[in-house]
Every structure is written in structure tokens, then in C-alpha cells.
């Protein structure tokens, strides 16, 4: 079957990745696709900062600025941050719990292809008549008015990626609940697994409101309904509620796995057990739970009334408590540890003060009366970049360096890593610290330019300089990646030397079946225990025998491609129809649209039918093959 | 394509499973009968033209009872190995109800509170 030793041609590698159901290869797909979208979102950020570098700039027109701004936010949240986190979840979670794959490998593959096709669909808007321009929140009053098809690309693109995310969330919950190795109780799971579990639960509860909201928007824009059209009895506030019922848990979906990555890094490079493990687990669950009760703090100025505002303000402030527990636990983990300043550890250490600053401004905004002042100013922009860049992006970069050997069996260059770390962190603070003050001085957010003589000039220029430092840091990181891949210097088992959790007990590159024998887990930090109290080998929990693995399949790719095609049909359906909203009723008619829609859906449903009615029972990895591999590892030396 | 490897069941195990299934079936039938009976009471109360202030809460209470019976006996919430599912359902219901309450108060009724 999937023998790793033989040399493969280019096309067979492509085919392998198109059809793969292996969580490690899917992680690589998420990493590559998410990385490309991260770079696109970064370029959009640079365009924004260039436009705002000097007053009265006309580098971008106002309309184009709105498009770039919208696409920056949407791309970074949906197409960069979440998929990159999924990359690390896929790469680590099955290995951390001692499973041979996720619970539903087929769905895992479907999730990644839905995300990739949705992302491509959204970004095709640039070359197909204009990108969405109503902000990443796409408030319905703006979105319904926006002329052309930009918002339709947003709605359909996000709907397709959203299905993928929901599927992956269900997959991870099932995997973690049902596929843990013997001895891996809930309270022995590494923090990365715990945060993945809680984030997946949040995905399952938070994405349906988004799906519903986007469906309503799609119906309004493409099929002539009027959920949000005020003149025919609709209500645009419904969109805001639905969006933020999803949108607030979404930021916890992003930050919790980043917390997980940091927890692993802190304990590994302090060579200490994570301080207050059970409190950390409790805080994670509590953050997840509170995350659903606070969405209206994005809507304080909508006019919900003082009682409603007060309830949501207090609930919001309450989240600072479990987050504080986590911060103190991380500090106590590092305290008195034998600290090793590797690149991931540096990111983790820089994360603590940066994230605390973002958190403190968060509590400031949670005070509803004060929020009337901060609302829609650059203070908000500074706040959420402090938590998302200072929390999530630092986490992603730390995770990239930390898990790189696990994913590719090579090590990223530490010197270059430290240079890009220094540049990125400095650039980040230079860019966003000053934006707090810009906001307090009264600069509104989402403006495409500002006038001279208002006192915003220097601060905006400083911010732009900082942004370019971050860009330089990312370029150095890319050089580092290219160099590492080109040199291809292989590392062996436990490359950091201090691996604590189960994934580091595996030989590198990890065999496609992960574990020759399912390991027996004897406590938290399973691998560390075996290193200290045993010979550094995991104890097997089963005798060596044949085991069952799933077959590769092209169907997930075809199912996703079908939805992608159907998306274009839905998009052009309302063009020029008299029942359509004003935004698209002047455009030329496309009579073929309905047929494209039907064809796309047929492709999807027929492939789903094939999957349902044609049995695919997988195959067995034989004992002989595993024994061969084990022998080779022995001979290859550790 | 490989076949799924299966071991034949021992006689003891088969008997045990049979016994469990008989018990399960009896429970299903009893709870089904109870539900029909509860529904019958609800219809009866309405048909007999009792006072509305009495009928509404009683019917709602019976409906609540029905939901619990449904979840526990027909949807296997009482069975072993369903703890996490139970937790997820309860949390999900809690969220859904709170969303609905908010929507009713601040969107549908619409007056600021």
C-alpha cells in the first residue's frame, strides 16, 4: 500500500495528497493552504498600512480599500488562522492520544478540501468583478446594499469552508472521546488535546448560527427572500446577533488551541510538569462555556438597553478570571524551571505580556459605558490585534517551529528563527501599541484615509513601519523554511531532547500507521515518565498483530469541487432578475446559472451516494510489514 | 479489498445479549404505552373543556415529561457510554434556550430592557 521507502514520481505524489486520508498528510495540506492564505492576508495588511502611512493618500481608492480591508479580516480569520490551527491539531492530536488516525479519516479529508475550495472561491472574487466590501462581519445593512457580486463570494465561500470546519470539529470530538490509548484518561490528556477538544465543541455549537446567518444572507441576495430587508419587514439586527453568536466563540476557537501549543512549549522547555494541570483544564472548559454568553458585548452601541448591556458586560469580565488562572499557571511553570531559550520558547515568553495587554484592554471595553467611547475607534483595532496576533499568531509561529520536526522530520534553523522572532515581536508592538493611542485621540477604524493636521500623521507612519518589520520577519521565516526543506537534514526521535508527551516517542518521520503497537499510558506526560522511570520506550498495550487502516479516496475532493461549481451557479442566479435586490438587479442576466447550480449539486450528491452505497472496508497492515519497519528503524539507528 | 475480521460470538455472550435485548424491548414498550397514555390525557383535557388556566400548564408539564421519556428511553440517553453525549446535549440546549430568550426579548419584542 502506502510504502514510504520507494521513490515516487511528481504526479503520484500529487495524487497521493489529493486522495489522502492520513491525518499527517492532511495536516501538511492545511499548513500549505493556510500558509498561502496567511501570506495573501499579510499582503492585504501591507496594502492597508501603505494607504494609511501618510494623510490624504490615494494609493488605494476608497472602494478598493474597503475590499482589501474586508478580505484581510476574512482571510486571516477563516482561511489562515483556523486552518493553520487545524494543521497542528491534525499533526499532533492523534499522536498525543495514541491513535492510528482520526475517527473519521474520510471526513478529515473532506474538511480540508471544503476549506481549500471555499478559500479559492472567496479569493476568486478579486478577478471576477470585485471582492466583498462590507467588513469581515458583513453587517446585513451594508451587505444587502453592496452592489455587484462581492458579498455573494463572501457568503458562498464562507459557507463552503464553514461546512469543512464543522465536519473537522465533529471529527476531533469523536477522535478524542473514543480513540484514546489504554490508560489515557481525560485527566492525563496533554493540554493541546484538551484545548482541541474544547475548541471542537465550540465549533460544533458556534458554526450552526453562522451557517444559518449566511444562509439567510444568501437567500436574501440570491433567491429573493427578505430576512434582512427592512422595507419588506426584515430586521438587520438578526444578522448581527447570529454573526456574533458565532463570532465571539470563534475567537476562543482560535485562541484555545494556541493556549494548548503554548502549554506544551512552556513545560517542554522549562523541563517541568505543567503547573496546575487540573486548573488549566478547568479554565479551558470555563473559557469555552463563558465564550457563548458574551456575544452582545460586540453590540453595546446597538441599543439593547442598560440591563442587557450590564448582563453581557459582567459575563465578559468574568472570562478574565479563567484566563488569569492560565497566565499565572504558565508563569509558575516557567518559574524555577531549567529554561531553554529555543525559538518556540521565545515566542511563548513574548506571548504572555503581549496577550495580557490585549486582555486588559478587553476588560476596559467590557465596561459598557466606556465602550461607547472606544467603539469603532482604532482602540478596538489595537485590542483585537493584540489578542489575535499576540496570542494566536505567536502561537502559530511557535507551533510551526516546535512541531516542524514532527511534521517534516527536519529542524528549522534556530538562528534565523530567533532573528525573525525578534523582528516580528518588535514590529508587532511598534505597529499596534501606537494604535491604542490613535483610537483614544479619536481616529475611527475602517477609514480609508485621514486629513493632515489632526495629529494622526506620526503615529500612523510608526504603525506602517512596524508592519513592514513584521513583513520582513515573515520573509526571513520563508527563507528559513526553503533552506530547511532544501537541506533536508533528517532528525531522529525526540529532536528537542526534552519531549514529554506521547507524540515525541515516535520515530521520525512518523510511520503512516503511527504506532506499531498501541502504547500504554501511565500518567500525564507519558513519554517523560518512561524516560525517567523506564528505558525511554513506551510500553505496548497490545501484542504485535495485523491492524486495520482506511483506504485513500478521491471522493472528498470531488464532493468539494461539486459544491465549488454549484457556488458559481448560485452566485449568478439573481443577476438581472426583477425579483432580485437592487444590488444585482441591474447586472446582465445569466440564464446558464441555474444549470451550473444543478450540475454542481448533482456532482456532490452523486459522489456522496457512491460513498454511501459502495462499501470501502479499508485494508490490513500486516504484522510482517510492521516487523520489517521496526527492524529498519533499529538498523538505521536512533 | 480486505474483509473485516470478525470472531464468532460465544453461546454465553449470545444468551446475555438476548436477555438484555428482551429487557430493553420491554422497557421500550412500557414507555411507549406511557407516552400514548400521556398524549391521551392531554387530548382528553382539551376535549373536556376544562378551564384554560388549568389545561395549559398541565399540558406543558406533560409535554416536558414526554421529552424526558423520549430522550432517556427512545434516544438511549439512559444507556452506559452516553455520558459525554448527555453533557453535550444539555449544554447545547442551554445555549439554544438562552439564544432564543435573547432573540425574543431584544429582537422580536424589540424594546430595550
Q: What is the ipTM of this complex?
A: 0.78
Query: ω into residue B110 within 30 of 0, thus cis?
Result: no
Is A619:A184 a contact under the CB 8 Å cutoff?
A: no
Nearest residue to A440 (alpha-carbon basis) of A387, A368, A382 = A382
> Is A5 an interface residue toward B (CB < 8 Å)?
no
Q: Which residues of chain B have pLDDT under 50?
A: 1
Partner-chain contact A617 B2, CB within 8 Å: yes
Nearest 5°: phi and psi at A574?
A: -85, -5
Angle at A54 between CA A48 and CA A58, to 5 degrees: 65
Residue A7: predicted pLDDT? 61
- Residue A402 pLDDT > 50, yes or no? yes
> Is B104 an interface residue toward A (CB < 8 Å)?
no
- Residue A636 pLDDT > 80, yes or no? no
Residue A5: predicted pLDDT? 47
> Is B101 an interface residue toward A (CB < 8 Å)?
no
Among A443-452, A513-522, A579-588, the least confident range:
A579-588
Hey, which residues 73-132 in chain A have their CB within 8 Å of chain B? none
Please count the other Cβ atoms lying within 10 Å of the Cβ belonging to residue A483.
Answer: 12
- Rounded CA gap, A80 and A71, in Å? 12
Query: How far is B36 from chain A, CA to nearest CA, in Å?
Result: 33
Handedness of CA A157, A160, A164, A167 (dihedral sign): positive
> Which of A205, A236, A621 is the best residue to mutate to test the B interface, defined by the most B CB atoms within 10 Å of its own CB?
A205
- Residue A2 pLDDT > 50, yes or no? no
Domain ranges of chain B: 12-76, 80-113
Hey, which residues 58-87 in chain B have their CB within 8 Å of chain A? 84
Give pLDDT tens digits for A345-358: 999 999 999 999 99
Residue from the list B92, B107, B113 with its beta carbon closest to the beta carbon of A307: B113
Percent of the residues in chain A that have a pLDDT greater than 70, as a whole number = 99
Give pLDDT tens digits for A14-61: 999 999 999 999 999 999 999 999 999 999 999 999 999 999 999 999
Helix (H, G, I), strand (E, B) or coil at A547: strand
Mean pLDDT of A388-416: 95
- What are residue A548's DSSP bridge partners? A620
Query: How far is A394 from chain B, CA to nearest CA, in Å?
Result: 31
Mean pLDDT of A85-103: 94
What cell does B8 get? Answer: 464468532
- Residue A489 pLDDT > 70, yes or no? yes
Query: How far is A241 from chain B, CA to nearest CA, in Å?
Result: 8
- Residue A638 pLDDT > 70, yes or no? no
Mind spelling out the 3-state secondary structure of A421-480?
A: HHHHHHHHHHHHHHHHHHHHCCCECCCCCCCCCCCCHHHHHHHHHHHHHHHHHHHHHHHH
Mean pLDDT of A359-371: 94
Is A132:A71 a contact under the CB 8 Å cutoff?
A: yes
Give pLDDT tens digits for A146-195: 888 999 999 999 999 999 999 999 999 999 999 999 999 999 999 999 99
Mean pLDDT of A478-504: 92
Residue A393: predicted pLDDT? 96
Q: What is the mean pLDDT of chain A?
A: 92
Is A161:A214 a contact under the CB 8 Å cutoff?
A: no
> Is A285 an interface residue toward B (CB < 8 Å)?
no
- What are residue A620's DSSP bridge partners? A548
- Residue A508 pLDDT > 90, yes or no? no
Give pLDDT tens digits for A196-249: 999 999 999 999 999 999 999 999 988 888 899 988 888 888 999 999 999 999
Query: How far is B76 from chain A, CA to nearest CA, in Å?
Result: 18
Nearest 5°: phi and psi at A52?
A: -95, 5
> Is B92 an interface residue toward A (CB < 8 Å)?
yes
- Rounded CA gap, A113 and A20, in Å? 11
- Residue A140 pLDDT > 70, yes or no? yes
Mean pLDDT of A250-259: 95
- Rounded CA gap, A326 and A178, in Å? 27
Buried-state track A448-463, b at ≥16 Cβ within 10 A, e below 16: bbbeeeeebeebbbbb
> Cβ contacts of residue A455 below 8 Å, gap of 6+?
A441
On chain B, the residues whose CB falls within 8 A of the CB of A212 are none
**Distance, C-alpha A97 to centroid of its chain:** 21
Partner-chain contact B4 A617, CB within 8 Å: yes
- Residue A324 pLDDT > 50, yes or no? yes
Residue A1: predicted pLDDT? 42
Query: How far is B112 from chain A, CA to nearest CA, in Å?
Result: 4
Hey, which residues 235-264 in chain A have their CB within 8 Å of chain B? 235, 237-238, 241, 245
Nearest residue to A506 (alpha-carbon basis) of A82, A191, A75, A97 = A97
Is A216:A155 a contact under the CB 8 Å cutoff?
A: no
What does pTM read for this prediction?
Answer: 0.91
Angle at A267 between CA A26 and CA A541, to 5 degrees: 60
On chain B, the residues whose CB falls within 8 A of the CB of A546 are 5
- Rounded CA gap, A174 and A183, in Å? 18
On chain B, the residues whose CB falls within 8 A of the CB of A308 are 102, 105-106, 112-113
Higher per-residue pLDDT: A82 or B72 = A82
- Rounded CA gap, A348 and A355, in Å? 10
- Specify the length of chain B in residues: 113
- Rounded CA gap, B40 and A634, in Å? 73
A92: pLDDT confidence band, cut at 50, 70 and 90?
very high
Residue B80: predicted pLDDT? 78
Q: Minimal Cα distance from A289: which residue of B?
A: B91
Amino acid at each position: 500500500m502506502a510504502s514510504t521507502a520507494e521513490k515516487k514520481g511528481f504526479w503520484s505524489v500529487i495524487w497521493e495528497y489529493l486522495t489522502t486520508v492520513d491525518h499527517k498528510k492532511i495536516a501538511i495540506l492545511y499548513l500549505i493552504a493556510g500558509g498561502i492564505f496567511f501570506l495573501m492576508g499579510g499582503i492585504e495588511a501591507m496594502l492597508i498600512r501603505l494607504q494609511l502611512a501618510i494623510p490624504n493618500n490615494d494609493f488605494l481608492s476608497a472602494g478598493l480599500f474597503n475590499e482589501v480591508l474586508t478580505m484581510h479580516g476574512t482571510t486571516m480569520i477563516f482561511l489562515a488562522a483556523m486552518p493553520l490551527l487545524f494543521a497542528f491539531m491534525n499533526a499532533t492530536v492523534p499522536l498525543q492520544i495514541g491513535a492510528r488516525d482520526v475517527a473519521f479519516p474520510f471526513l478529515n479529508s473532506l474538511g480540508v478540501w471544503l476549506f481549500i475550495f471555499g478559500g479559492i472561491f472567496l479569493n476568486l472574487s478579486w478577478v471576477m468583478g470585485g471582492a466583498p466590501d462590507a467588513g469581515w462581519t458583513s453587517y446585513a445593512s451594508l451587505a444587502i446594499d453592496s452592489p455587484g457580486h462581492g458579498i455573494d463570494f463572501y457568503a458562498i465561500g464562507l459557507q463552503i469552508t464553514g461546512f469543512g470546519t464543522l465536519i473537522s470539529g465533529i471529527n476531533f470530538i469523536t477522535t478524542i472521546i473514543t480513540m484514546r490509548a489504554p490508560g489515557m484518561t481525560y485527566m492525563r490528556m496533554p493540554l493541546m488535546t484538551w484545548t482541541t477538544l474544547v475548541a471542537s465543541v465550540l465549533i460544533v455549537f458556534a458554526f450552526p448560527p453562522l451557517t444559518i446567518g449566511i444562509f439567510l444572507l444568501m437567500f436574501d441576495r440570491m433567491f429573493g427572500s427578505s430576512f434582512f430587508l427592512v422595507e419588506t419587514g426584515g430586521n438587520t439586527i438578526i444578522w448581527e446577533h447570529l454573526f456574533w453568536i458565532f463570532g465571539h466563540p470563534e475567537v476562543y476557537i482560535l485562541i484555545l488551541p494556541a493556549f494548548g501549543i503554548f502549554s506544551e512549549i512552556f513545560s517542554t522547555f522549562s523541563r517541568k510538569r505543567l503547573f496546575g494541570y487540573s486548573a488549566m483544564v478547568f479554565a479551558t472548559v470555563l473559557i469555552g462555556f463563558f465564550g457563548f454568553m458574551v456575544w452582545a458585548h460586540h453590540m453595546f452601541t446597538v441599543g439593547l438597553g442598560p440591563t442587557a448591556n450590564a448582563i453581557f458586560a459582567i459575563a465578559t469580565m468574568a472570562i478574565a478570571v479563567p484566563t488569569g488562572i492560565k497566565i499565572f499557571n504558565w508563569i509558575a511553570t516557567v518559574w524555577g524551571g531549567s529554561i531553554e531559550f529555543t525559538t518556540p520558547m521565545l515566542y511563548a515568553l513574548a506571548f504572555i505580556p503581549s496577550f495580557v495587554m490585549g486582555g486588559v484592554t478587553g476588560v476596559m471595553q467590557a465596561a459598557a459605558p466606556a465602550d461607547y467611547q472606544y467603539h469603532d475607534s482604532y482602540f478596538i483595532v489595537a485590542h483585537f490585534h493584540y489578542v489575535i496576533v499576540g496570542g494566536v499568531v505567536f502561537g502559530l509561529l511557535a507551533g510551526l517551529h516546535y512541531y516542524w520536526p514532527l511534521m517534516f522530520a527536519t529542524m528549522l534553523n534556530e538562528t534565523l528563527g530567533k532573528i525573525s522572532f525578534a523582528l516580528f515581536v518588535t514590529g508587532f508592538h511598534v505597529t499596534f501599541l501606537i494604535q491604542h493611542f490613535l483610537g483614544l485621540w479619536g481616529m475611527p477604524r475602517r477609514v480609508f484615509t485621514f486629513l493632515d493636521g489632526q495629529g494622526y500623521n506620526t503615529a500612523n507612519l510608526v504603525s506602517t513601519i512596524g508592519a513592514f518589520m513584521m513583513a520582513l520577519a515573515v520573509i526571513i521565516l520563508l527563507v528559513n523554511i526553503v533552506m530547511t526543506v532544501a537541506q533536508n537534514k533528517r532528525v531522529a526521535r525526540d529532536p528537542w531532547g526534552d519531549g514529554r508527551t506521547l507524540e515525541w516517542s515516535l520515530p521520525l518521520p512518523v510511520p503512516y500507521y503511527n504506532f506499531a503497537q498501541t502504547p500504554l499510558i501511565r500518567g500525564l506526560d507519558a513519554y517523560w515518565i518512561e524516560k525517567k522511570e523506564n528505558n525511554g520506550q513506551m510500553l505496548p498495550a497490545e501484542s504485535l498483530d495485523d491492524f486495520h487502516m482506511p483506504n485513500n479516496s478521491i471522493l472528498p475532493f470531488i464532493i468539494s469541487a461539486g459544491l465549488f461549481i454549484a457556488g458559481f451557479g448560485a452566485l449568478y442566479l439573481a443577476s438581472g432578475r426583477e425579483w432580485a435586490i437592487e444590488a444585482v438587479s441591474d447586472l446582465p442576466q445569466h440564464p446558464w446559472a441555474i444549470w451550473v447550480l444543478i450540475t454542481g449539486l448533482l456532482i456532490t450528491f452523486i459522489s456522496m451516494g457512491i460513498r454511501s452505497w459502495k462499501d470501502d472496508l479499508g485494508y490490513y497492515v500486516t504484522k510482517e510489514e510492521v516487523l520489517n519497519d521496526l527492524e529498519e528503524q533499529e538498523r538505521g539507528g536512533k | 479489498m480486505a474483509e473485516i475480521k470478525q470472531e464468532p460470538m460465544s453461546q454465553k455472550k449470545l444468551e446475555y445479549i438476548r436477555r438484555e435485548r428482551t429487557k430493553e424491548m420491554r422497557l421500550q414498550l412500557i414507555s411507549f404505552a406511557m407516552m400514548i397514555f400521556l398524549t391521551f390525557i392531554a387530548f382528553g383535557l382539551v376535549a373536556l373543556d376544562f378551564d384554560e388556566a388549568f389545561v395549559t400548564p398541565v399540558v406543558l408539564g406533560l409535554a416536558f415529561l414526554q421529552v424526558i421519556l423520549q430522550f432517556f428511553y427512545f434516544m438511549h440517553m439512559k444507556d452506559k457510554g452516553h455520558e459525554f453525549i448527555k453533557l453535550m446535549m444539555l449544554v447545547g440546549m442551554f445555549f439554544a434556550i438562552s439564544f432564543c430568550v435573547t432573540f425574543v426579548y431584544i429582537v422580536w419584542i424589540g424594546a430595550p430592557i
